[in-house]
Amino acid sequence: MIFFTSLIVFASCYYDSEEELYGVSTCNNNTLTYIARIAPLMTAKCITCHDVASGNSVILETYTQVKDQFTSGQALCAVQRDPGCLAMPQSTPLSSCDLEACQQWVQAGCPE
């Protein structure tokens, strides 16, 4: 019993330090679908400037719109802040967790 208890304590300490290392409180990229992961990310980080009301030429409100932007390479270029496109979001870069979510979602073929 003591062995198991110390295992749990050790595991949680290890997890804490990993969080500190990446500066992310919760990184959960286990379910990389549009609905589970990408849509909430767009809502939190992109939609204020990219909904229909914004008048922006890039709209990121639906699965098809987001998928098109990411498969064209344009949105990945933007969030990776690569040269040759506008860096997005403009002020604060995505966390490494959010960035990995975008990259892995595209690699997986943008599952809905």
For residue 108, the minimal CB distance to ligand HEC (Å) is 17
Query: Please, are residues 42 and 48 in contact by the beta-carbon 8 Å criterion?
Result: no
Residue closer to ligand HEC by CB (options 84, 109) is 84
Amino acid at 59: I
For residue 105, the minimal CB distance to ligand HEC (Å) is 12
Residue closer to ligand HEC by CB (options 30, 57) is 57
For residue 25, the minimal CB distance to ligand HEC (Å) is 19
Q: Nearest-CA neighbor of 93 among 73, 74, 79?
A: 79
- Interface residues with ligand HEC (CB under 6 A)? 45-46, 48-50, 56-58, 69, 74-75, 78-79, 85-86, 88-90, 94
For residue 16, the minimal CB distance to ligand HEC (Å) is 28
27-32 — which CB contacts under 8 Å span 24+ positions? Answer: 27/95, 27/97, 29/97, 29/100, 29/101, 29/104, 32/101, 32/104, 32/105, 32/108, 32/111
Residue closer to ligand HEC by CB (options 11, 86) is 86
